[in-house]
Each structure stands twice: as structure tokens, then as C-alpha cells.
Amino acid sequence: MNYLVNWNYQAEWKNQVVRLFAGETVTLDADVAEFVLRDSPGCLTPTAPALGTLAADTAPAEGDRALDEAPQDRQLKRAPKQRADRTGDPGDDGPITTKTFKAVKNK
């Protein structure tokens, strides 16, 4: 069942640490929730199951996906090519002329 955690909580239960943080919505087994509520009454508030949880339960398993559906592509692609024409960009004085080239060359 899903619970909203009202304040931070930490305890050891059956040789494992139970850590809950305020504002989180957590899914706990009945025996864990009973222990937390017995140890710290009011720490947990029961909530309705999240819609994403219900959708995940009814979603097909990964091996059951349709054959015509492409798997998600996680490969990093190269950066998009820069456009060749940069006229009109800030700081662009147009193409270099022979006069400008000679002035820079002679310095």
C-alpha cells in the first residue's frame, strides 16, 4: 500500500534500516507499515495507489512488445552540422576582401 511520509523517520527493523523522508510517497508492506506506525504514530498517512503504478501493472512485459515497434535508441548522435552561410550573424562583416587581407597581412 502507498503511504505519504509526514516527517523523517529512521529505524532498524529485522536487521535492515528503514529510512523515510518527509514528503515522499512510499510503497510499504503491511508488516513494515504496522511497525513504523507502532513506533512513530502519525508518521505515515495512507494514500490511494498512484496511477502510474496501476498502468505499470497492466503494461505488457518487455519481451511482449510489438515486433513492428522499434526499441528506444540510446546511442549518442553527432552534433548537427553547422550551416555554411553565416551572413547576418552578430559580428559578421561579410566575406574577407583582398583589401582587408592585405591590410592584415602587412601588419
DSSP-derived letter for residue 61 is: P
**pLDDT 10s digits, 72-87:** 666 767 776 766 655 6
In the chain, domain spans = 2-58
Contact 2, 26 (CB under 8 A): yes
Full-model pTM: 0.43
Q: For the segment 18-50, what is each residue's pLDDT rounded down to a tens digit?
A: 888 989 899 988 888 888 888 888 889 998 765
The mean pLDDT value of the chain amounts to 74
- All cell numbers assigned to 3: 503511504
